[in-house]
Copies of this chain bind each other. A is one copy, B any other.
């Protein structure tokens, strides 16, 4: 039993809305692969799974459809989105455009060390996850996510941050899936560190270029894995 069902409750003091809870839980289940990509799920199934009534479930469907995590198939419930290699390309093209822009904006704001402490911590966590004899890939992925989410947040453009996170979420399962198939992300970790250095140095252009290169390399790596394994949808 959780004492605070929803963060909105903390902020507003209002009763949590069932719609929000359904949305959050359903999204979590999609990201966690409880409903696997490509799956056709009936509205009634999710209603009973989440102990909710149809109205909040339908509203959650609409939100998640807009976020690209599922598709409402009229009269047939929903289909959980499955990413094709082409979708992955689209997603990485967008991230290669938006994320470097976010870094540039962040540098332009001249943040002090305290502001970007979360980024440094994320880098530390990534290194720690790879330090032992057996790398903790789940911990590394969580730290990587922290880095990118916070970078988006810190850029000062809320719309931009929201867009990055939406696209990032779309690729979440693909990242998790390829985590064990890729080489240990040592290079990726050091690239993050270099971006932080450039931010601290106030060098917008370098930060931008580094981040772009990081994203480009990540995209190529993912694409290569997908092709090598002949994966069609994930």
Nearest CB of chain B from residue A160's CB, rounded to whole Å: 5
A159 CB within 8 Å of chain B:
yes
Nearest CB of chain B from residue A3's CB, rounded to whole Å: 21
Scan residues 71-106 of chain A and give those whose CB is less than 8 A from a CB of chain B: 74, 87, 89-91, 93-94, 96-98, 101, 105
A94 CB contacts on chain B under 8 angstroms: 98, 101, 157, 159-160, 163
A66 CB contacts on chain B under 8 angstroms: 62-63, 66-67
A158 CB contacts on chain B under 8 angstroms: 90
A113 CB contacts on chain B under 8 angstroms: none
A62 CB contacts on chain B under 8 angstroms: 59, 62-63, 66
* B68–A159 CB distance below 8 A: yes
A14 CB within 8 Å of chain B:
yes
A110 CB within 8 Å of chain B:
no
Other CB < 8 Å A-B pairs besides A55-B55, A62-B62, 10 of them? A14-B74, A17-B74, A59-B62, A68-B159, A90-B159, A94-B98, A94-B101, A94-B160, A97-B160, A98-B98
Q: Footprint of B on A, CB under 8 Å?
A: 12, 14, 17, 55, 58-59, 62-63, 66-68, 74, 87, 89-91, 93-94, 96-98, 101, 105, 157-160, 163, 167
Q: 20 A–B contact pairs at CB < 8 A? A: A55-B55, A55-B58, A59-B62, A62-B62, A66-B67, A89-B157, A90-B158, A90-B160, A91-B159, A94-B101, A94-B157, A94-B159, A94-B160, A94-B163, A97-B97, A97-B98, A97-B101, A97-B160, A98-B98, A159-B167
